[in-house]
Structure 1
């Protein structure tokens, strides 16, 4: 058996039992692995549905251009369908989204315009506004508007809901979904509640988003809105696809918990998923007291981890945001294990001969060079040798004449991997400012000492 094109492979994604990451959570926890869709995300389902509905209604005409504001996954689904069906694509996205997502869209031949995150949806620079303007300006174009296009929810009502019902043999008691456009949770939830009104539908939200408070109070609170890192869930407006009547409750998860849980899913379950899956599992664990041992919980794993390699799966990115601390050695922990010795420096006006004598007496090979107490360069044995071979008379010259660029500076949270990569033939050390403002030096010997110590 074969498929006529890649779009026919969308759907029928597996349901996999989680075993390790949910220790202490009552019930059977099952993950719906949407990464097996050809575009590696659940958004393939609704992208094709929106296009097919637009073709039927005449909104999307042959040879047309699809214009959409997308964080990447919907764009991937649209771009894939556009290739098969003969359309062009222009996507607007935010500078919050991972570079991998933008690169993937461009790999499918789409034009991608990156817009600022930290602006109101009505702002002409927002990715919503720019996509709307392009729709007006580009001839024969169509904007799917995944947020308010109810074909989004309908795709999940027709596909995702029935799949889950059949795969659990009707035993599902809870559905847990990260909420962005609202299509997945609303369409799937509507179908499941029609089958069994007692099924609980739990939406996962993020801090900086309006969903939870609106569900609980009916108040749209602009003061709740602020920039956040978690991708794919939360909004600063109310999409038409979010059916608050279907969703029983919202649970907020922090950026840090979502990021670290995303990594844990890969490490503990061997399932390589994106940021919203981490948020969903984080939210489920926070809600575990509401579950019983006989419950059957389905959690949607929306997209693939490969789109987050520069973010959640990058330890330096995590450390820069204070999400990951001391799991690996950092500059701070290397300094803590280092003998407390004063850093040797030489002023730019010292002579080359004085540098030679200092290197000999201190048994070191490179020295930071200072000017008015600030480190401005370095001088190494190899620099001195090269200079004297060319001009032996340089012995009395100031070292400023032969010094080279200073050692790289790192901060206290920089990982040992990053520090090691900076130490090479040109740089035998890195510099770091400690918590008191004092400049310290870390050499290869210090790294070896910290590892073995």
Structure 2
């Protein structure tokens, strides 16, 4: 049995997440597909990494002082990570979030002691956008700093210095491809830059949901969105500071329906309860794996990010009525359970 020594503090629990071979995706791609289990972080998402690096960077620059406040605009997961890190370091937290995100994220933030400010979802150009609202609140709050995850490159440094070396070591120094979606761009850019430092031949692929503009940007040089997605925390309409210089070699556009296929299969076949962003990432990894196999790469290994736990979406992604209302396929067990509940109530 491999028993590690005790960690010196709770923040050391962030990162060094396990990586796992995914049987169903590997069979579908004809090569080994690996998922980096970011749901194993204390805040149950990949965003814990960015939160830790951003707060440490603000401390190092002398902007965040004892008793201070961290303000952030987020779809939820970064806010949860910020709240946990801030609690561990003695800071207060104010989180601004669109009011169409999952109830579980809102309840979690309140449970962690964060002050939660909800705003209507709107375009980035609108002054009421959650990012701009969080910036104004930081400016108006004494002793506060704005985390600014979208344009604060401490975000992507978390993945250059942490996630990428972990993947390289865990896969024995042989990585043929990496892909994930972009929200802030910190993960795809940071892991891409970090892995390319080990081997320039590693193919970095953007996996973009519908409703985002980056697929067309990397494919055709134009920021143009098409369609829509219910996925939370991914999809971007501009080139953030974290995305500048990202080494994107190719790109895929993945529908919610494709992503849900893998959300369903990974739960039913492999016991992993994940969010839709993870399903979209896995669909992109399968596409990248197939591409590398078709090119004749011998036994390619492809890694992606399993972003967060599905337990954060019980009222949405794992709710039959919500899925049906969105025109999305309902998982068969949810349909059965919903029908059984209706029969009992009748």
Q: Please, what is the CA RMSD of the aligned residues? A: 2.1
Aligned with residue 417 of structure 1, among 340, 343, 346: 340
Give the whole-Å Cα distance in 2 for the aligned partners of 1:52 and 1:326.
42
Number of matched residues?
A: 338
> What's the offset of the Cα at 1:265?
1.4
Aligned with residue 77 of structure 2, among 73, 79, 89: 73
- Structure 1 match to 2:328: 323
User: TM-score, normalising length from structure 1?
Assistant: 0.71
Matched residue SS, 2:6 = coil
Check 1:139–1:329 CA distance in 2 against 1; reply closer, same or farther (3 A cut): closer
Q: Deviations over 1:226-248 (max 9, x none)?
A: 65311121112221111454111
C-alpha contact 1:232 1:275 (8 A) present in aligned 2: no
Correspondence 1:299 to 2:300: no
Correspondence 1:179 to 2:185: no
- Structure 2 match to 1:60: 64
**Larger gyration radius, structure 1 or structure 2:** 1
C-alpha contact 2:192 2:246 (8 A) present in aligned 1: no
Matched residue SS, 2:252 = strand
Give the whole-Å Cα distance in 1 for the aligned partners of 2:58 and 2:164.
23
Bigger share in helix: 2
Matched residue SS, 1:159 = helix
Correspondence 1:16 to 2:20: yes
| Runs of 4+, deviation exceeding 4 Å | 328-331
Correspondence 1:48 to 2:52: yes
Correspondence 1:262 to 2:263: yes
C-alpha contact 1:5 1:84 (8 A) present in aligned 2: no
C-alpha contact 2:25 2:286 (8 A) present in aligned 1: no
- Structure 2 match to 1:278: 279
C-alpha contact 1:328 1:416 (8 A) present in aligned 2: no
Give the whole-Å Cα distance in 2 for the aligned partners of 1:56 and 1:64.
14
C-alpha contact 1:26 1:291 (8 A) present in aligned 2: no
Aligned with residue 125 of structure 2, among 119, 122, 134: 122
Check 1:22–1:294 CA distance in 2 against 1; reply closer, same or farther (3 A cut): closer
Q: Deviations over 1:297-333 (max 9, x none)?
A: 11111111110111122222222222226947979xx
- Structure 1 match to 2:110: 106
C-alpha contact 2:33 2:285 (8 A) present in aligned 1: no
Matched residue SS, 2:27 = coil
Q: Deviations over 1:146-200 (max 9, x none)?
A: 0100001111111111111111111110012121111111111111111111000
Give the whole-Å Cα distance in 2 for the aligned partners of 1:326 and 1:12.
32
- Structure 1 match to 2:216: 213
Q: Deviations over 1:102-157 (max 9, x none)?
A: 1111111001112222x221323221121122112111111010010000111111
Aligned with residue 164 of structure 2, among 144, 161, 165: 161
- Structure 2 match to 1:384: none
- Structure 1 match to 2:134: 131
Give the whole-Å Cα distance in 2 for the aligned partners of 1:166 and 1:299.
15
User: TM-score, normalising length from structure 2?
Assistant: 0.91
> What's the offset of the Cα at 1:287?
4.3
| Unpaired stretches in structure 1, ≥5 consecutive residues | 332-413, 424-453
After alignment, is 306-315 or 154-163 more displaced? 306-315
| Unpaired stretches in structure 2, ≥5 consecutive residues | none
Matched residue SS, 2:93 = strand
- Structure 2 match to 1:348: none
Matched residue SS, 1:97 = coil
Check 1:291–1:258 CA distance in 2 against 1; reply closer, same or farther (3 A cut): same
Check 1:28–1:285 CA distance in 2 against 1; reply closer, same or farther (3 A cut): closer
Aligned with residue 83 of structure 1, among 87, 93, 99: 87
Matched residue SS, 1:24 = helix
> What's the offset of the Cα at 1:23?
2.6
- Structure 2 match to 1:368: none
> What's the offset of the Cα at 1:69?
0.4
Matches within 5 A, 1:349-360: none
After alignment, is 264-273 or 61-70 more displaced? 264-273
Give the whole-Å Cα distance in 1 for the aligned partners of 2:323 and 2:306.
21
